[in-house]
C-alpha cells in the first residue's frame, strides 16, 4: 500500500526497470495489493492470482487432496460456524469411536496459530451437550487466545475439523513446488519441518532434505497435488505439508495443507543456492554443488533467547569466526545468520547451518547455539 500511495516512487521504479518484458514482481504472498502494484508498474506478477487463493485455504486444500487421490485426515471442510463444528465433531467421533483428539482449524491460519485442539475423551453424544462443553474441551494453539475468542474468529472466517493424527513416531515433512507461466510443474525441494508449541503445531525451523526413508513418497504425493493446482491455473511457488507416522507396515503420510506462497523453508534454501551455486537433483532428492557434492542444512528463523539481547549483529560475525563456525567458501559448509535486525531488541535471530549431510548440519547448528548462549552470558 505504501508503494501504491507514492506515484513518484512508482515512476522511479518503472524507470529503473526499463523494459517491463524483462522483469516480474516476486512477493512473499500475493494479495489484491500486489496485483495492483504489478499493474501500476506494468510488470507481470509471478505468484498465485488472489482469485485462486481458495486453493490455499484449509478447506480448499482438502478439496485438492481429494481430487489428487492422496491420503489426508478424516474430517469435514467448508464449515462456517461453531454450530457446524459441533456437528462435525460428533460425526467424526461416530466414524472413529476410539479417536481421542481432533483439530479445529481456521480457514486462514499461519504457522499453526489458527489451530485449536479438542479433547474427545468421553465426548457428549448430542449437539446441545457438546455445545455447552465445547469451550472447556478446546485449547487454542495461539498464546493468550481463549476458546470463546477462537470460535468467534471461526464464525467470521470458517474452517475445518480434522482427526488429530497420532503416533509414537511422527514427522512433519513438506514438499516445495513451483508452477511457471508455461504451466510446467517443478519440484524444488523437500524438508522435515521442526515444530513446537502445543502438540507441535507451530513452525520453528526446517531440515533439508527430508528423511530418505520417505522422501520419494512425499515427493510423489506432492507432485500429484501440484498437478491439480496447475490444472486449476495456480502459478508460482507453493508448499504441501504432511504429517507422517511410522507404523509396522511402513510410513503413513497424511497431506495436511497447501501454502500458495513462499514460506519458512524458502529463505534457507535460497541462501544455500546463493552460497554454493548448486542445484536440486530431483531424482536423487539431494542438493548438489557444482562439483556434484551433496549439501544439507538445519535452519531456524525463530531462535530466541533473552540473553541474546546483549549482543549486536557485529558480535555474531566475530563469534562465528573466533570459533571456526562461519561459512567456508572452499568447503562450502558452515553457518550463516539472518533476521539479525531483531537481535538486540527481541533476542531473536535466524540461523542456517550447512553441512555435507544432515548429521554435520545438525552438529554445526547445535554447536553454534551453544556458543552463542555461552558468549551472550559472558561479562
- For the stretch 200-239, pLDDT in tens is 667 789 999 999 999 999 999 999 999 999 999 999 999 9
Task: Give the C-alpha separation, 194 to 214, whole Å.
Answer: 16
Domain for residue 52, yes or no? no
The reply to whether 139 and 185 lie within a common domain is no
| Cell representation of residue 256 | 495436511
How many distinct structural domains can be found in the chain?
Answer: 4
Residue-wise pLDDT tens digits, 90-146: 999 999 999 999 999 999 876 667 999 999 999 998 999 999 999 999 999 888 899
* CA end-to-end distance (rounded Å), the chain: 45
Domain boundary among 227, 259, 291: 259
Neighbours of 217 (CB within 10 A): 17
Domain boundary among 239, 259, 279: 259
The reply to whether 205 and 175 lie within a common domain is yes
Domain for residue 195, yes or no? yes
Question: Any idea of the CA torsion for 183, 188, 189, 194, to the nearest 10 degrees?
Answer: -80
The reply to whether 39 and 84 lie within a common domain is no
The reply to whether 117 and 206 lie within a common domain is no
- Give residue 247's pLDDT band: very low, low, confident or very high (50, 70, 90): very high
**Domain residues for 130?**
74-163
The reply to whether 283 and 368 lie within a common domain is yes
Phi-psi region of 38 (alpha: psi -120 to 50; beta: other; left: phi over 0): alpha
The reply to whether 149 and 121 lie within a common domain is yes
The reply to whether 359 and 274 lie within a common domain is yes
The reply to whether 235 and 270 lie within a common domain is no
pTM for this predicted structure: 0.90
Amino acid at each position: 500500500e505504501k508503494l501504491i500511495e507514492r506515484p513518484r516512487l512508482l515512476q522511479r521504479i518503472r524507470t529503473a526497470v526499463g523494459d517491463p518484458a524483462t522483469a516480474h514482481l516476486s512477493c512473499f504472498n500475493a494479495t489484491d495489493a500486489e496485483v495492483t502494484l504489478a499493474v501500476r508498474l506494468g510488470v507481470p506478477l509471478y505468484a498465485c492470482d488472489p482469485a485462486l487463493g481458495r486453493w490455499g485455504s484449509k478447506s480448499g486444500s482438502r478439496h485438492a487432496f481429494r481430487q489428487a487421490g492422496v491420503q489426508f485426515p478424516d474430517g469435514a471442510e467448508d464449515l462456517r460456524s461453531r454450530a457446524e463444528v459441533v456437528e462435525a465433531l460428533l460425526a467424526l467421533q461416530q466414524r472413529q469411536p476410539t479417536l481421542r483428539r481432533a483439530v479445529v482449524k481456521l480457514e486462514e491460519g499461519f504457522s499453526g496459530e489458527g489451530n485449536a485442539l479438542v479433547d474427545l475423551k468421553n465426548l457428549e453424544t448430542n449437539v446441545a451437550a457438546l455445545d455447552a462443553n465445547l469451550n472447556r474441551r478446546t485449547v487454542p494453539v495461539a498464546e493468550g487466545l481463549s476458546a470463546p475468542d477462537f470460535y468467534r474468529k471461526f464464525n467470521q472466517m470458517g474452517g475445518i475439523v480434522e482427526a488429530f493424527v497420532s503416533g509414537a513416531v511422527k514427522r512433519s515433512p513438506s514438499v516445495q513446488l513451483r508452477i511457471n507461466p508455461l504451466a510446467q510443474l517443478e519440484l524444488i525441494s523437500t524438508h522435515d519441518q521442526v515444530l513446537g508449541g502445543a502438540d507441535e503445531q507451530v513452525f520453528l525451523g526446517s531440515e533439508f532434505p527430508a528423511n530418505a526413508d520417505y522422501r520419494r513418497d512425499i515427493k510423489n504425493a506432492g507432485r500429484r497435488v501440484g498437478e491439480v493446482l496447475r490444472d486449476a491455473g495456480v502459478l508460482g511457488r507453493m508448499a504441501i505439508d504432511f504429517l507422517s507416522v511410522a507404523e509396522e507396515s511402513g510410513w503413513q503420510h497424511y497431506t495436511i495443507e497447501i501454502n500458495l506462497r513462499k514460506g519458512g523453508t524458502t529463505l534457507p534454501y535460497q541462501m544455500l543456492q546463493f552460497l554454493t551455486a548448486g542445484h536440486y537433483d530431483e531424482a536423487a532428492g539431494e542438493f548438489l554443488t557444482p562439483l556434484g557434492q551433496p549439501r544439507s542444512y538445519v535452519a531456524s528463523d525463530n531462535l530466541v533467547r533473552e540473553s541474546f539481547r546483549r549482543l549486536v549483529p557485529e558480535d555474531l560475525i566475530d563469534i562465528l569466526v573466533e570459533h571456526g563456525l562461519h561459512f567456508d567458501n572452499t568447503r562450502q559448509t558452515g553457518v550463516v545468520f539472518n533476521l539479525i535486525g531483531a537481535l538486540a531488541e527481541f533476542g531473536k535471530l535466524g540461523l542456517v547451518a550447512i553441512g555435507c549431510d544432515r548429521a554435520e548440519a545438525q552438529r554445526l547448528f547445535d554447536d553454534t547455539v551453544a556458543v552463542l548462549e555461552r558468549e551472550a552470558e559472558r561479562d
